[in-house]
A and B are shown apart, each in its own frame.
Chain A
Amino acid sequence: MASIQKSAETAATGDRQRAMGLLAKASRAELQAAFDALDDKPAAQPVRGPETGLVMVRGRIGGGGAPFNLGEATVARASVRLDDGTVGHGQALGTDGAKARLAAIFDALFQQPARRAEVAALLDAVAARIAGEDAEKARQTAATRVDFFTMVRGED
Protein backbone atom coordinates (compact mmCIF):
# COMPACT_ATOMS: atom_id res chain seq x y z
CA MET A 1 0.00 0.00 0.00
CA ALA A 2 2.72 2.39 1.06
CA SER A 3 4.76 1.50 -1.99
CA ILE A 4 1.79 2.10 -4.30
CA GLN A 5 1.31 5.50 -2.74
CA LYS A 6 5.03 6.15 -3.05
CA SER A 7 5.14 5.25 -6.72
CA ALA A 8 2.11 7.47 -7.37
CA GLU A 9 3.96 10.32 -5.69
CA THR A 10 7.06 9.61 -7.74
CA ALA A 11 4.99 9.68 -10.92
CA ALA A 12 3.39 12.98 -9.88
CA THR A 13 6.82 14.39 -9.13
CA GLY A 14 8.07 13.23 -12.53
CA ASP A 15 5.11 14.88 -14.27
CA ARG A 16 5.67 18.16 -12.50
CA GLN A 17 9.41 17.99 -13.11
CA ARG A 18 8.81 17.55 -16.83
CA ALA A 19 6.21 20.36 -16.82
CA MET A 20 8.57 22.78 -15.07
CA GLY A 21 11.36 21.89 -17.48
CA LEU A 22 9.13 22.66 -20.45
CA LEU A 23 7.90 25.90 -18.87
CA ALA A 24 11.56 26.94 -18.50
CA LYS A 25 12.16 26.25 -22.21
CA ALA A 26 8.97 28.00 -23.35
CA SER A 27 9.32 31.52 -24.70
CA ARG A 28 7.64 34.35 -22.89
CA ALA A 29 5.43 34.86 -25.94
CA GLU A 30 4.24 31.24 -25.75
CA LEU A 31 3.42 31.57 -22.05
CA GLN A 32 1.74 34.95 -22.48
CA ALA A 33 -0.41 33.72 -25.37
CA ALA A 34 -1.47 30.66 -23.37
CA PHE A 35 -2.28 32.84 -20.37
CA ASP A 36 -4.30 35.26 -22.49
CA ALA A 37 -6.24 32.31 -23.90
CA LEU A 38 -7.30 31.03 -20.46
CA ASP A 39 -11.06 31.40 -19.92
CA ASP A 40 -10.66 31.62 -16.18
CA LYS A 41 -7.52 33.61 -15.42
CA PRO A 42 -6.27 32.88 -11.91
CA ALA A 43 -5.38 35.70 -9.55
CA ALA A 44 -1.78 35.17 -8.47
CA GLN A 45 -0.19 36.76 -5.42
CA PRO A 46 3.58 37.07 -5.45
CA VAL A 47 5.32 34.91 -2.85
CA ARG A 48 8.84 35.57 -4.07
CA GLY A 49 10.23 37.66 -6.91
CA PRO A 50 10.32 37.92 -9.82
CA GLU A 51 14.03 38.21 -9.19
CA THR A 52 17.24 37.64 -11.12
CA GLY A 53 20.20 35.77 -9.70
CA LEU A 54 22.96 33.37 -10.58
CA VAL A 55 23.34 29.64 -10.66
CA MET A 56 26.86 28.24 -10.69
CA VAL A 57 26.87 25.73 -13.54
CA ARG A 58 28.91 22.65 -12.82
CA GLY A 59 30.74 20.35 -15.17
CA ARG A 60 32.55 17.10 -14.53
CA ILE A 61 36.29 16.52 -14.88
CA GLY A 62 36.82 14.52 -18.07
CA GLY A 63 33.08 14.73 -18.78
CA GLY A 64 32.07 12.14 -16.21
CA GLY A 65 34.36 12.57 -13.21
CA ALA A 66 34.32 14.76 -10.10
CA PRO A 67 32.28 17.97 -10.35
CA PHE A 68 33.91 21.35 -10.91
CA ASN A 69 32.48 24.86 -11.17
CA LEU A 70 32.38 25.88 -14.82
CA GLY A 71 30.87 29.36 -14.52
CA GLU A 72 27.64 31.09 -13.65
CA ALA A 73 24.43 31.62 -15.59
CA THR A 74 21.71 34.19 -15.04
CA VAL A 75 18.42 32.78 -13.79
CA ALA A 76 15.09 34.51 -13.30
CA ARG A 77 12.69 33.03 -10.77
CA ALA A 78 9.31 33.76 -9.27
CA SER A 79 6.89 32.05 -6.91
CA VAL A 80 3.17 32.79 -6.77
CA ARG A 81 0.17 31.71 -4.69
CA LEU A 82 -3.24 31.25 -6.27
CA ASP A 83 -6.50 32.00 -4.44
CA ASP A 84 -6.92 28.40 -3.31
CA GLY A 85 -3.44 28.47 -1.75
CA THR A 86 -1.60 26.51 -4.46
CA VAL A 87 1.98 27.70 -4.72
CA GLY A 88 3.75 27.61 -8.08
CA HIS A 89 7.42 28.12 -8.89
CA GLY A 90 8.87 29.39 -12.13
CA GLN A 91 12.56 29.55 -13.00
CA ALA A 92 14.47 29.78 -16.25
CA LEU A 93 17.86 30.77 -17.60
CA GLY A 94 18.04 34.45 -18.47
CA THR A 95 16.72 37.59 -16.84
CA ASP A 96 13.07 37.56 -17.94
CA GLY A 97 11.16 37.98 -14.68
CA ALA A 98 7.80 38.24 -16.44
CA LYS A 99 8.39 34.85 -18.06
CA ALA A 100 9.34 33.33 -14.69
CA ARG A 101 6.12 34.69 -13.16
CA LEU A 102 3.98 33.23 -15.96
CA ALA A 103 5.81 29.90 -15.57
CA ALA A 104 5.04 29.98 -11.84
CA ILE A 105 1.34 30.55 -12.53
CA PHE A 106 1.24 27.60 -14.95
CA ASP A 107 3.16 25.44 -12.44
CA ALA A 108 0.46 26.24 -9.87
CA LEU A 109 -2.34 25.49 -12.33
CA PHE A 110 -0.63 22.21 -13.24
CA GLN A 111 -1.01 21.09 -9.64
CA GLN A 112 -4.77 21.61 -9.76
CA PRO A 113 -6.32 18.46 -11.24
CA ALA A 114 -9.24 20.45 -12.71
CA ARG A 115 -6.90 22.72 -14.66
CA ARG A 116 -4.06 20.41 -15.55
CA ALA A 117 -5.46 19.78 -19.03
CA GLU A 118 -5.19 23.47 -19.94
CA VAL A 119 -1.53 23.46 -18.94
CA ALA A 120 -0.94 20.14 -20.67
CA ALA A 121 -2.08 21.67 -23.97
CA LEU A 122 0.52 24.42 -23.58
CA LEU A 123 3.21 21.91 -22.60
CA ASP A 124 2.44 19.71 -25.60
CA ALA A 125 2.76 22.71 -27.91
CA VAL A 126 6.09 23.73 -26.38
CA ALA A 127 7.41 20.15 -26.49
CA ALA A 128 6.36 19.83 -30.14
CA ARG A 129 8.04 23.11 -31.05
CA ILE A 130 11.29 22.09 -29.36
CA ALA A 131 11.20 18.59 -30.87
CA GLY A 132 10.74 20.16 -34.31
CA GLU A 133 13.64 22.55 -33.84
CA ASP A 134 15.88 19.78 -32.48
CA ALA A 135 15.01 17.48 -35.37
CA GLU A 136 15.72 20.20 -37.94
CA LYS A 137 19.07 20.97 -36.34
CA ALA A 138 19.90 17.25 -36.20
CA ARG A 139 19.16 16.90 -39.92
CA GLN A 140 21.34 19.93 -40.71
CA THR A 141 24.15 18.45 -38.63
CA ALA A 142 23.68 15.04 -40.27
CA ALA A 143 24.25 16.69 -43.66
CA THR A 144 27.76 17.63 -42.46
CA ARG A 145 28.65 14.05 -41.50
CA VAL A 146 31.77 12.83 -43.28
CA ASP A 147 31.29 9.79 -45.51
CA PHE A 148 34.72 8.28 -45.87
CA PHE A 149 35.59 6.29 -48.94
CA THR A 150 38.74 4.41 -49.77
CA MET A 151 40.70 4.99 -52.95
CA VAL A 152 42.42 1.90 -54.23
CA ARG A 153 45.58 2.73 -56.14
CA GLY A 154 47.86 0.70 -58.30
CA GLU A 155 47.57 -3.01 -59.05
CA ASP A 156 47.25 -5.75 -56.48
Chain B
Amino acid sequence: MYVAVKGGEAAISNAHRLLADRRRGDRSLPAIGIEQIVAQLGLAVDRVMAEASLYDRALAALAVRQARGDMIEAIFILRAYRTTLPRFGYSKPVETGDMIVERRVSATYKDLPGGQLLGPTFDYTHRLLDPSLLTDEAVEAPLEREEAGEPVMRVSDILAGEGLVEDDGSLPNGHIAGDLTREPLEFPMARDLRLQALARGDEGFLLALGYSTQRGYARTHPFVGEVRIGAVEVELDMPELGFAVSLGRIQVTECQMIAQFKGSAKNPPQFTRGYGLVFGQSERKAMAMSLVDRALRAEEFGEDIVAPAQDEEFVISHSDNVQATGFVEHLKLPHYVDFQAELDLVRRMRREYEAAQNTDLPEAAE
Protein backbone atom coordinates (compact mmCIF):
# COMPACT_ATOMS: atom_id res chain seq x y z
CA MET B 1 0.00 0.00 0.00
CA TYR B 2 1.28 3.46 -0.83
CA VAL B 3 0.04 6.26 1.41
CA ALA B 4 0.55 9.83 0.22
CA VAL B 5 0.86 12.44 2.91
CA LYS B 6 0.37 16.06 2.02
CA GLY B 7 1.48 19.15 3.86
CA GLY B 8 4.56 21.28 4.41
CA GLU B 9 4.05 23.67 1.48
CA ALA B 10 4.18 26.75 3.68
CA ALA B 11 7.18 25.43 5.62
CA ILE B 12 9.06 24.66 2.37
CA SER B 13 8.28 28.05 0.89
CA ASN B 14 9.38 29.84 4.06
CA ALA B 15 12.53 27.70 4.28
CA HIS B 16 13.51 28.73 0.74
CA ARG B 17 12.91 32.36 1.60
CA LEU B 18 15.11 31.93 4.67
CA LEU B 19 17.76 30.25 2.50
CA ALA B 20 17.76 33.25 0.15
CA ASP B 21 18.23 35.55 3.15
CA ARG B 22 21.13 33.52 4.57
CA ARG B 23 22.69 33.27 1.12
CA ARG B 24 22.76 37.05 0.84
CA GLY B 25 23.96 37.41 4.42
CA ASP B 26 24.76 40.74 6.04
CA ARG B 27 23.13 43.38 3.83
CA SER B 28 25.62 46.01 4.99
CA LEU B 29 28.28 44.13 2.97
CA PRO B 30 28.34 44.40 -0.81
CA ALA B 31 27.06 41.36 -2.69
CA ILE B 32 29.71 39.44 -4.65
CA GLY B 33 29.32 39.58 -8.40
CA ILE B 34 29.63 36.75 -10.90
CA GLU B 35 32.69 38.42 -12.47
CA GLN B 36 34.34 38.58 -9.05
CA ILE B 37 33.74 34.89 -8.45
CA VAL B 38 35.15 34.03 -11.89
CA ALA B 39 38.18 36.26 -11.37
CA GLN B 40 38.99 35.67 -7.70
CA LEU B 41 37.62 32.20 -6.92
CA GLY B 42 38.58 30.80 -10.30
CA LEU B 43 39.66 27.36 -9.14
CA ALA B 44 36.34 26.81 -7.35
CA VAL B 45 34.63 27.75 -10.61
CA ASP B 46 36.89 25.35 -12.52
CA ARG B 47 36.05 22.48 -10.19
CA VAL B 48 32.34 23.08 -10.67
CA MET B 49 32.78 23.13 -14.46
CA ALA B 50 34.84 19.94 -14.44
CA GLU B 51 32.52 17.89 -12.25
CA ALA B 52 29.32 19.30 -13.72
CA SER B 53 30.90 18.34 -17.06
CA LEU B 54 29.89 21.70 -18.51
CA TYR B 55 32.39 24.33 -19.57
CA ASP B 56 30.93 27.77 -18.88
CA ARG B 57 32.66 29.95 -16.30
CA ALA B 58 29.83 32.46 -15.89
CA LEU B 59 27.21 29.77 -15.27
CA ALA B 60 29.54 27.85 -12.94
CA ALA B 61 30.14 31.04 -10.93
CA LEU B 62 26.39 31.63 -10.75
CA ALA B 63 25.99 28.08 -9.45
CA VAL B 64 28.70 28.67 -6.80
CA ARG B 65 26.93 31.81 -5.65
CA GLN B 66 23.50 30.19 -5.65
CA ALA B 67 24.87 27.21 -3.70
CA ARG B 68 26.52 29.48 -1.09
CA GLY B 69 29.86 27.95 -2.01
CA ASP B 70 28.71 24.35 -1.55
CA MET B 71 30.64 22.76 -4.41
CA ILE B 72 28.58 19.62 -4.86
CA GLU B 73 25.34 21.61 -4.72
CA ALA B 74 26.78 23.97 -7.37
CA ILE B 75 27.80 20.99 -9.52
CA PHE B 76 24.29 19.56 -9.14
CA ILE B 77 22.68 22.85 -10.24
CA LEU B 78 24.92 23.14 -13.29
CA ARG B 79 24.35 19.48 -14.23
CA ALA B 80 20.61 20.05 -14.01
CA TYR B 81 20.90 23.13 -16.23
CA ARG B 82 22.72 21.25 -18.98
CA THR B 83 19.79 18.86 -19.35
CA THR B 84 17.67 21.80 -20.54
CA LEU B 85 19.88 22.54 -23.56
CA PRO B 86 19.92 20.87 -26.98
CA ARG B 87 23.09 19.14 -28.17
CA PHE B 88 24.52 20.80 -31.28
CA GLY B 89 27.16 18.17 -31.90
CA TYR B 90 30.54 16.71 -30.98
CA SER B 91 33.71 18.75 -31.32
CA LYS B 92 36.81 17.57 -33.06
CA PRO B 93 39.20 16.19 -30.43
CA VAL B 94 41.13 19.03 -28.78
CA GLU B 95 44.86 18.91 -29.57
CA THR B 96 46.71 19.23 -26.29
CA GLY B 97 50.02 19.04 -28.16
CA ASP B 98 49.15 22.44 -29.67
CA MET B 99 48.17 23.90 -26.29
CA ILE B 100 49.00 27.52 -25.51
CA VAL B 101 50.84 26.50 -22.38
CA GLU B 102 50.76 28.55 -19.18
CA ARG B 103 52.28 25.84 -16.99
CA ARG B 104 54.17 22.67 -17.79
CA VAL B 105 56.30 20.65 -15.45
CA SER B 106 57.89 17.26 -15.87
CA ALA B 107 59.16 15.09 -13.04
CA THR B 108 60.96 12.75 -15.44
CA TYR B 109 63.19 15.09 -17.46
CA LYS B 110 65.01 18.09 -16.04
CA ASP B 111 65.95 19.62 -19.37
CA LEU B 112 63.37 19.16 -22.05
CA PRO B 113 62.23 21.18 -25.05
CA GLY B 114 60.03 24.00 -23.78
CA GLY B 115 61.53 23.77 -20.30
CA GLN B 116 59.97 23.58 -16.87
CA LEU B 117 57.38 26.35 -16.80
CA LEU B 118 56.01 26.83 -13.29
CA GLY B 119 53.22 29.23 -14.19
CA PRO B 120 50.77 30.37 -11.50
CA THR B 121 51.33 27.53 -9.00
CA PHE B 122 50.84 26.97 -5.28
CA ASP B 123 53.92 24.70 -5.37
CA TYR B 124 56.86 25.99 -3.31
CA THR B 125 54.63 28.42 -1.39
CA HIS B 126 54.95 28.05 2.38
CA ARG B 127 51.26 27.52 3.00
CA LEU B 128 51.31 30.25 5.62
CA LEU B 129 48.23 32.43 5.94
CA ASP B 130 48.94 35.74 4.25
CA PRO B 131 47.70 38.64 6.38
CA SER B 132 48.17 41.03 3.47
CA LEU B 133 45.09 39.44 1.91
CA LEU B 134 42.99 40.62 4.87
CA THR B 135 43.00 43.96 3.14
CA ASP B 136 42.92 44.91 -0.48
CA GLU B 137 46.61 45.67 -0.90
CA ALA B 138 47.91 46.42 -4.36
CA VAL B 139 49.34 43.38 -6.16
CA GLU B 140 52.45 43.66 -8.28
CA ALA B 141 52.19 42.94 -12.00
CA PRO B 142 53.87 39.68 -13.05
CA LEU B 143 57.41 39.80 -14.37
CA GLU B 144 58.03 39.11 -18.02
CA ARG B 145 60.85 37.53 -19.96
CA GLU B 146 61.30 37.16 -23.68
CA GLU B 147 60.36 33.61 -24.52
CA ALA B 148 62.58 31.39 -26.59
CA GLY B 149 59.80 30.46 -29.00
CA GLU B 150 60.68 26.83 -28.39
CA PRO B 151 57.79 24.38 -28.83
CA VAL B 152 56.71 22.73 -25.57
CA MET B 153 57.32 19.14 -26.64
CA ARG B 154 55.20 16.39 -25.16
CA VAL B 155 57.15 14.15 -22.81
CA SER B 156 55.40 11.08 -24.21
CA ASP B 157 56.84 11.93 -27.64
CA ILE B 158 60.34 12.13 -26.15
CA LEU B 159 59.97 8.66 -24.62
CA ALA B 160 58.28 7.31 -27.74
CA GLY B 161 61.37 8.29 -29.72
CA GLU B 162 63.25 5.56 -27.87
CA GLY B 163 60.35 3.12 -28.16
CA LEU B 164 60.27 2.71 -24.39
CA VAL B 165 56.68 3.78 -23.79
CA GLU B 166 53.38 2.52 -25.08
CA ASP B 167 51.54 4.67 -27.62
CA ASP B 168 48.83 7.18 -26.77
CA GLY B 169 46.04 4.63 -26.55
CA SER B 170 44.13 3.32 -29.52
CA LEU B 171 40.79 1.56 -29.70
CA PRO B 172 39.70 -0.90 -32.41
CA ASN B 173 38.96 0.56 -35.84
CA GLY B 174 35.37 1.70 -36.16
CA HIS B 175 35.00 2.16 -32.38
CA ILE B 176 32.75 5.13 -31.72
CA ALA B 177 33.54 7.04 -28.55
CA GLY B 178 30.98 6.10 -25.90
CA ASP B 179 28.91 8.84 -24.31
CA LEU B 180 27.58 8.21 -20.82
CA THR B 181 25.17 11.15 -21.15
CA ARG B 182 23.42 9.20 -23.91
CA GLU B 183 23.63 5.53 -22.94
CA PRO B 184 23.35 3.81 -19.56
CA LEU B 185 26.62 2.53 -18.08
CA GLU B 186 27.48 -1.08 -18.74
CA PHE B 187 30.45 -3.00 -17.39
CA PRO B 188 33.03 -3.78 -18.50
CA MET B 189 33.50 -0.57 -20.45
CA ALA B 190 36.10 0.66 -22.92
CA ARG B 191 38.78 3.09 -21.78
CA ASP B 192 37.20 6.05 -23.61
CA LEU B 193 34.01 5.78 -21.57
CA ARG B 194 35.99 5.34 -18.34
CA LEU B 195 37.90 8.53 -19.08
CA GLN B 196 34.65 10.43 -19.63
CA ALA B 197 33.38 9.19 -16.26
CA LEU B 198 36.68 10.02 -14.53
CA ALA B 199 36.83 13.50 -16.09
CA ARG B 200 33.53 14.36 -14.37
CA GLY B 201 34.27 12.26 -11.28
CA ASP B 202 34.55 13.69 -7.79
CA GLU B 203 38.00 15.12 -7.12
CA GLY B 204 38.06 13.92 -3.52
CA PHE B 205 37.06 10.38 -4.45
CA LEU B 206 39.62 10.13 -7.24
CA LEU B 207 42.29 11.72 -5.05
CA ALA B 208 41.70 9.11 -2.35
CA LEU B 209 41.79 6.26 -4.87
CA GLY B 210 44.93 7.63 -6.51
CA TYR B 211 46.51 7.94 -3.07
CA SER B 212 45.53 4.35 -2.26
CA THR B 213 47.45 3.12 -5.33
CA GLN B 214 50.55 4.91 -4.08
CA ARG B 215 50.18 3.31 -0.66
CA GLY B 216 50.22 -0.16 -2.12
CA TYR B 217 46.60 -0.90 -2.96
CA ALA B 218 47.48 -1.58 -6.63
CA ARG B 219 51.05 -1.22 -7.59
CA THR B 220 51.80 1.35 -10.28
CA HIS B 221 55.11 3.08 -9.43
CA PRO B 222 54.13 6.25 -11.23
CA PHE B 223 56.07 9.28 -12.39
CA VAL B 224 54.53 12.50 -13.64
CA GLY B 225 55.77 12.52 -17.21
CA GLU B 226 54.24 15.94 -17.43
CA VAL B 227 51.43 18.13 -16.27
CA ARG B 228 50.40 20.95 -18.57
CA ILE B 229 47.78 23.65 -18.23
CA GLY B 230 46.71 25.96 -21.00
CA ALA B 231 44.29 26.85 -23.75
CA VAL B 232 43.15 24.62 -26.60
CA GLU B 233 40.89 25.35 -29.55
CA VAL B 234 37.44 23.78 -29.71
CA GLU B 235 36.48 23.10 -33.31
CA LEU B 236 33.09 21.97 -34.55
CA ASP B 237 32.37 20.46 -37.94
CA MET B 238 29.73 22.52 -39.71
CA PRO B 239 27.78 20.12 -41.96
CA GLU B 240 26.07 23.05 -43.74
CA LEU B 241 29.48 24.46 -44.68
CA GLY B 242 31.54 21.32 -45.15
CA PHE B 243 34.38 22.45 -42.88
CA ALA B 244 35.18 22.83 -39.19
CA VAL B 245 35.16 26.19 -37.44
CA SER B 246 36.72 27.26 -34.17
CA LEU B 247 34.24 28.09 -31.41
CA GLY B 248 36.94 29.62 -29.25
CA ARG B 249 39.36 28.32 -26.67
CA ILE B 250 38.93 26.49 -23.41
CA GLN B 251 41.43 25.97 -20.60
CA VAL B 252 42.29 22.39 -19.71
CA THR B 253 44.75 20.55 -17.47
CA GLU B 254 46.43 17.42 -18.77
CA CYS B 255 48.51 14.86 -16.89
CA GLN B 256 50.61 12.13 -18.47
CA MET B 257 51.44 9.62 -15.75
CA ILE B 258 54.19 7.15 -16.62
CA ALA B 259 54.08 3.77 -14.92
CA GLN B 260 56.25 0.66 -14.97
CA PHE B 261 55.36 -2.48 -16.85
CA LYS B 262 57.59 -5.50 -17.03
CA GLY B 263 56.27 -6.71 -20.35
CA SER B 264 54.35 -9.74 -21.47
CA ALA B 265 54.37 -12.39 -24.19
CA LYS B 266 52.80 -9.81 -26.55
CA ASN B 267 54.59 -6.65 -25.46
CA PRO B 268 58.22 -5.91 -24.72
CA PRO B 269 59.13 -4.32 -21.38
CA GLN B 270 58.15 -0.68 -21.58
CA PHE B 271 56.54 2.13 -19.64
CA THR B 272 52.77 2.26 -19.57
CA ARG B 273 50.67 5.35 -19.10
CA GLY B 274 47.71 6.76 -17.27
CA TYR B 275 45.95 9.80 -18.68
CA GLY B 276 44.16 12.72 -17.07
CA LEU B 277 42.36 15.56 -18.80
CA VAL B 278 40.17 18.01 -16.93
CA PHE B 279 38.35 21.28 -17.70
CA GLY B 280 40.01 24.37 -16.26
CA GLN B 281 43.03 24.53 -14.00
CA SER B 282 42.85 21.41 -11.85
CA GLU B 283 46.18 19.73 -11.46
CA ARG B 284 45.30 17.55 -8.46
CA LYS B 285 42.26 16.17 -10.26
CA ALA B 286 44.17 15.53 -13.51
CA MET B 287 46.91 13.69 -11.59
CA ALA B 288 44.44 11.62 -9.57
CA MET B 289 42.52 10.81 -12.75
CA SER B 290 45.66 9.58 -14.48
CA LEU B 291 46.57 7.35 -11.52
CA VAL B 292 43.11 5.82 -11.47
CA ASP B 293 43.05 5.45 -15.27
CA ARG B 294 46.28 3.46 -15.06
CA ALA B 295 45.05 1.35 -12.14
CA LEU B 296 41.84 0.51 -14.02
CA ARG B 297 43.88 -0.90 -16.90
CA ALA B 298 45.02 -3.80 -14.72
CA GLU B 299 43.18 -6.42 -16.75
CA GLU B 300 44.61 -5.10 -20.02
CA PHE B 301 48.12 -5.76 -18.65
CA GLY B 302 47.24 -9.05 -16.98
CA GLU B 303 47.79 -7.62 -13.50
CA ASP B 304 46.08 -9.13 -10.46
CA ILE B 305 43.00 -7.18 -9.43
CA VAL B 306 43.46 -6.86 -5.69
CA ALA B 307 42.56 -3.27 -4.81
CA PRO B 308 39.53 -0.96 -4.99
CA ALA B 309 41.21 1.40 -7.48
CA GLN B 310 41.49 -1.46 -9.99
CA ASP B 311 37.82 -2.41 -9.74
CA GLU B 312 36.13 -0.70 -12.68
CA GLU B 313 32.57 -1.21 -11.54
CA PHE B 314 33.35 -0.03 -8.02
CA VAL B 315 35.26 3.07 -9.16
CA ILE B 316 33.03 4.23 -12.00
CA SER B 317 29.75 3.50 -10.17
CA HIS B 318 30.82 5.65 -7.22
CA SER B 319 32.83 8.45 -8.82
CA ASP B 320 29.90 10.71 -9.70
CA ASN B 321 29.21 13.02 -6.79
CA VAL B 322 25.80 14.12 -8.06
CA GLN B 323 24.59 10.53 -8.06
CA ALA B 324 26.30 9.88 -4.74
CA THR B 325 24.87 12.91 -3.01
CA GLY B 326 21.43 12.17 -4.40
CA PHE B 327 21.36 8.70 -2.92
CA VAL B 328 22.99 9.57 0.39
CA GLU B 329 20.97 12.74 0.92
CA HIS B 330 17.66 11.17 0.02
CA LEU B 331 17.89 9.37 3.35
CA LYS B 332 16.83 12.56 5.13
CA LEU B 333 13.60 12.78 3.17
CA PRO B 334 10.46 11.35 4.79
CA HIS B 335 10.60 7.57 5.21
CA TYR B 336 7.77 7.52 7.75
CA VAL B 337 5.91 4.57 6.28
CA ASP B 338 9.05 2.53 5.58
CA PHE B 339 10.18 3.15 9.11
CA GLN B 340 6.78 2.27 10.62
CA ALA B 341 6.96 -1.06 8.85
CA GLU B 342 10.44 -1.73 10.22
CA LEU B 343 9.41 -0.58 13.67
CA ASP B 344 6.51 -3.04 13.69
CA LEU B 345 8.85 -5.78 12.55
CA VAL B 346 11.43 -5.06 15.23
CA ARG B 347 8.72 -4.89 17.93
CA ARG B 348 7.40 -8.29 16.85
CA MET B 349 10.87 -9.82 16.76
CA ARG B 350 11.58 -8.36 20.18
CA ARG B 351 8.37 -9.90 21.61
CA GLU B 352 9.32 -13.25 20.12
CA TYR B 353 12.85 -12.95 21.47
CA GLU B 354 11.64 -12.09 24.95
CA ALA B 355 9.08 -14.88 24.86
CA ALA B 356 11.85 -17.31 23.88
CA GLN B 357 14.09 -16.03 26.67
CA ASN B 358 11.29 -16.55 29.21
CA THR B 359 10.61 -20.12 28.09
CA ASP B 360 14.37 -20.83 28.01
CA LEU B 361 14.92 -19.60 31.56
CA PRO B 362 13.62 -22.65 33.48
CA GLU B 363 15.80 -24.89 31.30
CA ALA B 364 18.86 -22.74 32.01
CA ALA B 365 18.11 -22.97 35.73
CA GLU B 366 18.11 -26.74 35.70
Contacts and interface: CB of A to CB of B under 8 A. Distances in A.
B90 A55 contact: yes
Interface stretch (A28-36, A38-46, A63-71, A114-122): A63-71
B117 A141 contact: yes
B185 interface: no
Among A21, A51, A70, A93, find the residue whose CB has the most chain B CB atoms closer than 10 A. A70
Contacts of B248: 24-25, 92-94
Given A53-B87, A57-B94, A68 B55 contact: no
A144 interface: yes
A1 interface: no
Interface residues of A, number: 52
Contact of B100 (A64, A68, A134): A134
Among A58, A62, A148, find the residue whose CB has the most chain B CB atoms closer than 10 A. A62
Contact of B146 (A60, A134, A142): A142
A54 B86 contact: yes
A17 interface: yes
Contacts of A77: 88
Contact of B88 (A55, A59, A69): A55
A58 B177 contact: yes
A63 B205 CA distance: 24
A92 B247 contact: yes
B306 interface: no
A62 B167 CA distance: 8
A140 B246 contact: no
Contact of A68 (B110, B145, B193): B193
Q: Is the interface of B mostly helix, strand, loop or mixed?
A: mixed
B199 A73 contact: no
A73 B234 CA distance: 9
Nearest to B180: A69
A17 B111 contact: no
- Interface band, chain B: 35 or more
A7 interface: no
A67 B245 CA distance: 18
B200 interface: yes
Contacts of B100: 134, 137-138
A145 B91 contact: no
Nearest to B242: A13
B148 interface: yes
Interface in B147-198: 147-148, 154, 156, 167-171, 175, 177-181, 191-193, 195-196
Contacts of B111: 148
Contact of B168 (A65, A70, A141): A65
A64 B97 contact: yes
Nearest to A22: B246
A155 to B, nearest CB: 25
A25 B247 CA distance: 7
Given A24-B247, A25-B246, A143-B143, A64 B86 contact: no
A101 interface: no
B90 A62 contact: no
Contact of B56 (A16, A94, A141): A94
B95 to A, nearest CB: 8
A58 B168 contact: no
B354 interface: no
A59 B279 CA distance: 11
9 contacts: A20-B246, A53-B85, A63-B97, A64-B156, A91-B236, A94-B56, A134-B100, A139-B145, A141-B147
Among all A-B residue pairs, the 7 with the closest Cβ atoms: A62-B168, A61-B169, A65-B168, A21-B246, A65-B169, A68-B192, A142-B147
